[in-house]
Structure 1
Amino acid sequence: MKIINLLLGAALCCSLSSCFKDEPLNAECDIEQAYVHVDDPTDIFFAASDTLVNVLSDADNVVFEIKDDADVSAMAPMFRLTEGATITPENGSVHDFSDGKSVVYTVTSQDGAWQRTYNVSFRVAYNVSEYDFENIRYVDGDMGGGYYEWSDLSSSGEWIGNWATGNPGFYLTAALGTTVIPAEEFPSAPVDDGHSGRGVKLETKSTGPLGTLIGPMGIAAGNLFIGEFDASKALSGSDGAMQATSFGRTFSGEPLQFTGWYKYTSAGQCVDGNRQPIADTYDQGDIYAVLYRNQDANGNAFTLHGDDVKTSPQIVAIAQVPQVTDTDGWTEFTVDFEYRQELDRDLLANRGYNLAVVFTSSIDGASFRGAIGSTLYVDEVKVICADNQE
C-alpha cells in the first residue's frame, strides 16, 4: 500500500492543486518495525540491536534471527504500524515461536478498506556460501504484471529471502507505462541456460519517462545482491536511491576465496541519469563480495548502502573480479579476499559480521550511469571459507 501511494504521489504531485475540507482516513496497512523486549537480549539474540527489525514496504515476512539454543516459546512481538492501522492478533500478545513456528498477523488500514497479512517468525541464523540461483518465484505486482525474485533455501527447504534486486523499483517506474513489461524483460531475470541449470541475466535498461521525471534516474542496471532493496526509497531521487540497497546478511565464516562463472557483453558508451552520452566511456560489469562489521562503535546496527559498499571503514575484507568486460562465453572467476583488518574471532562467532555478494551489469549503475543493453550472466557462485575448503 505504501509503495502505491508513493508512486501515485510522484506522478500526480505536480498536477493536484485542489484542497479538501476533511482529510481522508489513511489507506495504508503496513508494519514498519517489529521489536521485542527481553530482560537479557543475549540469551536469545547475538546482539541487542537484533531485537528490532525494520520491515520493507513490500515485505510480507518478518524474521528475527536468533541463537540456536534460544527459547522463543513465549515471545510478545510489538509492531509500529502506519498511521491509524490496527493489527490482529493484538500488538504485544504472547505466542509460541519455537521449532520454526510462525504467526500470521493481519493489519487493517485506518479507513477499514485494506488489509495485509504478515508471517512473523524467529529463525536460527546460519551461513549460506554456495549459490546456484535455481530457486526463483514470481511476485505479482499491485498494478498488474510482476517480476522475479531469488532465494537460497534452508536445510529444511525454507525460502530464506537472502537475495535482492532492483526489480521492485523498476516495476514502479514501469507501472505508469502503457503496456505491462514481461518479467523476463526486467533488469534482473532468470534464464534456463545458465552454466549449470538456471542462471541469472542482468541487463541495463531504460526506466522510461518516469525515471528522468523523478531522477535523474534514466537507467536501471540489472543487479543481484545479498541483502534487501527498499522500493520506497528508490523513488526519492538519485541521492535517496543510494539508500534503497542494504547490502549483506550475518555471516560467521572466514572467507578466503570468491569463485563462480559469468559471461558479459557491454553495450558500449555509457549514458548518464538523463540518458545523455558520457564522452570517453565504455561500460563494464562488476562482481565482488564484501565482509564487514555489522555494528558501529556504539553498538548500533550498521548496514552498507550504495554509497559506501566498497569504501566504508567498517569493511574487513573484499574480493573483486578485476575487470568484467566482454567475454566469448561462460568464464570462470576465482579471486582472493583481501583483508583490510584482522578478524575478531569472538565477533565472528557471534555473527558480528555481514557478508555481501554483489553483481551488476553496469559498474556505475548505482549512480545511474551505464550503457542500455549491457548484459551480465552469473551462475554457480561460491564463497570458500577457512572451514570448507575443497
Structure 2
Amino acid sequence: MKYLSYALPALFYILCLTSCFKDEPLNAECDIETAWIHADNPEDMFFSLSDSLINVKSDITEIVFEVKSGTDLTALAPMFAVTEGATITPASGSVHDFSNGGKVEYTVRSQDGEWSRKYTVSFRTVKRTKEDIVKFDFENFRKNRTGKYYEWSDINEDGTNLNNWATGNPGFMIAMGSAPAENYPTTPIADGGLDGAAVRLVTRSTGAWGATVGKRIAAGNLFLGEFDFKYVLTETLKATRFGVRFDKKPVKFTGYYKYAPGDKFQDQYGKIIDGRTDRAAIYSVLYRNHDDAGNPVVLYGDNIMSSELIVAIARIEYVEPASGWTMFEVDFNYVKELDEELLSNYGYNLAVVFSSSDEGDHFEGAIGSELMIDKVRITCTITE
C-alpha cells in the first residue's frame, strides 16, 4: 500500500501531462524565416558570402537574391527555414530555372493547416552602371500592403521595385494606427514637387501611447535602407538600418528642399524648451559594409555618424528655413581612403537620410516641423 500511495499521484501527474500535450494547439504561423543558396564557389556568384543568405522580415513576401553578372541562373536550389511545423511547396532545396527574370512562387502552410502564405523568389543580376549621377526623384510611391501608410522605391531596369527606401511610418502605426495614411509622418506630395511628386516629412505627436512609453513625437524621415519593425519598442535606434550597397565614389550631394520648423520644441519628457528651434537633418554617409573579420555590417541610428567604418560624410550642417524650393549642395568629406577593389565588389554602403527633426531619433523636436524633399542627386566619379 505504501508503494501504491506513491504510484497513484505519479500516475495522475503523467496522465495530466499527457493531456496537456494532447491539448497543446498546433502552430498557426506560416512564414519563411531564412532563405539561402548553397554554391560550391560562392565568390563567383555573390559579391560577398553574406549575400547568399537572406533573413526574411515578417512583412516581406518577395525574396530577391542579388548576384554577379554572368551567374548561371538556369538550375538553382533555394533552401528555406520556415516557422515550426510549417511545410513549404515546392520543397526547400528543389531545383528551378530563374533565368531571364524568372520567379518561382512558394506556398508555406501552417502546422495546423488553417493558414498559408505565398512568397516569390527571384534573382537580380547587379550590373555596375557607368552613369556618374545617381538620381532620386521619389515619383514611385504606394501604400504598403495593409494600406496604412506610404512607402517609396526606385525602379530596376527590368521594371521591378528596388525597395531601397524606408521610413519610420511602421513605428508610427503602433501609436496612431487609426490615423489615415495622409496623417503619418512621411507622405507623398503627388503634384507638389518641382515637376511631379515630392516627399513631405512632418514631426507628429504620438498621442497618449507615446506619452506613456516616453516616445512623444515621431519625426518624418526617409532613408536609404530598411526599417526593422521588431526593434521599435525595445531598441528604437536599431530599427533604422541605414544604407544600400554602392559601387561608385560619391563626390557631391545635391537636391531641393523646403523647411519650416514647428512652433514649440520639446524634450523627450514633453517639456517645452523656450528659445530652442527645431532643426532638420539632411546628410549622406559612405561606409564599409564588412568589418576587418569579414562580418557583414549595417549602421544604425546610434552609430550612423560615429562608426569607425565610415569613409565619407556629406552633411548640411544647418538646414535654413525656406518657404520655396531651395537647392542644397555639399561635397563628400573623405575621412579614410577609398579601396577601389573593395568598391568594385560592392564593399561599401551608401546612406542618404532626411528628417524633419534632427533629434527625432531621441524623441525631441517640435510637432509640426515640416521638411519637403525633391530631385536628390549623388554625383560620383567613375571607377571602371
TM-score between the two structures when normalised by the length of structure 1: 0.87
Does the C-alpha gap of structure 1 residues 127 and 138 become closer, same or farther in structure 2, counting only changes over 3 Å?
Answer: farther
Aligned partner of 1:5 in structure 2 is none
Gaps of 5+ in 1: 1-18
Q: Give the C-alpha shift of residue 111 in structure 1.
A: 2.6
The answer to whether the 8 A contact 1:127-1:251 is kept is: no
CA RMSD of aligned residues (A): 2.0
Structure 2 residue matching 1:96: 3-state secondary structure: coil
Contact 2:69 / 2:127 at 8 angstroms: preserved in 1? no
Give me the whole-angstrom Cα distance separating, in 2, the residues matched to 1:377 and 1:168.
20
Q: Specify the structure having the higher radius of gyration (Cα).
A: 2
SS of corresponding position for 1:146? coil
What is residue 187 of structure 2 aligned with on the other side?
189
Task: Name the residue aligned to 2:77.
Answer: 76
AA aligned to 1:318 is I
Matched with 2:225 is 227
CA distance in 2, matches of 1:27, 1:372: 41
1:372 aligns with 2:367: yes
- Whether 1:139 and 2:134 are equivalent positions in the alignment is no
Partner residue in 2 for 1:154 = 156
Partner of 2:50: 49
Alignment of 1:54-133 (within 5 A): 54-126=55-127, 129-133=134-138
Say yes or no: does 1:335 pair with 2:330. Answer: yes
Deviations along 1:254-281, one digit per CA (max 9) or x if unpaired, are: 1000000001010043323443334553
Is the Cα–Cα contact under 8 Å of residues 187 and 220 in structure 1 kept in the other structure? yes
Post-superposition shift, 1:153? 0.7
**2:31 pairs with 1:26:** no
Percent identity between matched residues is 52
CA change 1:295–1:328 in 2 (3 A) is: same
Contact 2:278 2:366 in 1 (8 A): yes
Amino acid in the other structure paired with 1:112 = G
Q: Which consecutive residues of structure 2, in runs of 5 or more, have no partner in the other structure? A: 1-19
Provide the aligned length of Structure 1 versus Structure 2: 359
Contact 1:204/1:219 (CA < 8 Å) preserved in 2?
yes
- CA gap of 1:105–1:210, structure 2 versus 1, over 3 A, is farther
- Match among 165, 169, 194 for residue 163 of structure 1: 165
1:12 is matched with which residue?
none
Question: 2:203 matched to which residue of 1?
Answer: 204
Q: 1:241 aligns with which of 215, 219, 236?
A: 236
Q: 1:127 to 1:283 in 2, by over 3 A?
A: farther
Change (3 A) 1:339 1:369: same
Structure 1 contact 65–125 (Cα < 8 Å) conserved: yes
* C-alpha separation in 2, matches of 1:165 and 1:381: 17
Within 2, Cα distance between the matches of 1:63 and 1:273?
39
Secondary structure of 1:328 counterpart: strand
Q: Could you tell me which residue of structure 2 aligns to residue 15 of structure 1? A: none
* Deviation (angstroms), 1:387: 2.8
Q: TM-score, normalised by structure 2?
A: 0.89
- Partner Cα distance (2:127, 2:182) in 1: 31
**2:68–2:127 Cα contact (<8 Å) kept:** no
| Matched residue type, 2:324 | G
In the aligned structure 2, how far is the partner of 1:227 from the partner of 1:127? 19
Q: Is residue 2:349 matched to residue 1:354?
A: yes
Structure 1 CA distance, aligned partners of 2:310 and 2:118? 36
Of 355, 378, 382, the match for 1:383: 378
Letter in 1 for 2:226: E
* Contact 1:49–1:299 (CA under 8 A) maintained in structure 2: no
Which whole-Å CA distance do the structure 2 matches of 1:197 and 1:160 have between them?
20
Is the CA contact (8 Å cut-off) linking 1:150 and 1:161 kept in structure 2? yes
For 1:29 and 1:169, how far apart are their aligned partners in 2?
A: 23
Do the aligned residues in 2 keep the contact of 1:196 with 1:379 (CA within 8 Å)?
no
**Partner Cα separation in structure 2 for residue 248 and residue 84 of structure 1:** 35
- Which residue identity lines up with residue 135 of structure 2 in the other structure? E
> Could you tell me how far apart the structure 2 residues matched to 1:168 and 1:106 are?
26
Contact 1:260 1:380 in 2 (8 A): yes
- Give the direction of change, closer, same or farther, for the CA distance of 1:279–1:88 in structure 2 (3 Å limit): farther
Q: Secondary structure at the match of 1:26?
A: coil
Q: Give the match for residue 217 of structure 1.
A: 215
Per the alignment, do residues 21 and 371 of structure 1 end up closer, same or farther by CA in structure 2, a change over 3 Å counting? farther
Instruction: Tell me what 1:40 maps to.
Output: 41
Against the structure 1 CA distance between its residues 148 and 127, is the aligned structure 2 distance closer, same or farther, given a 3 Å change threshold? farther
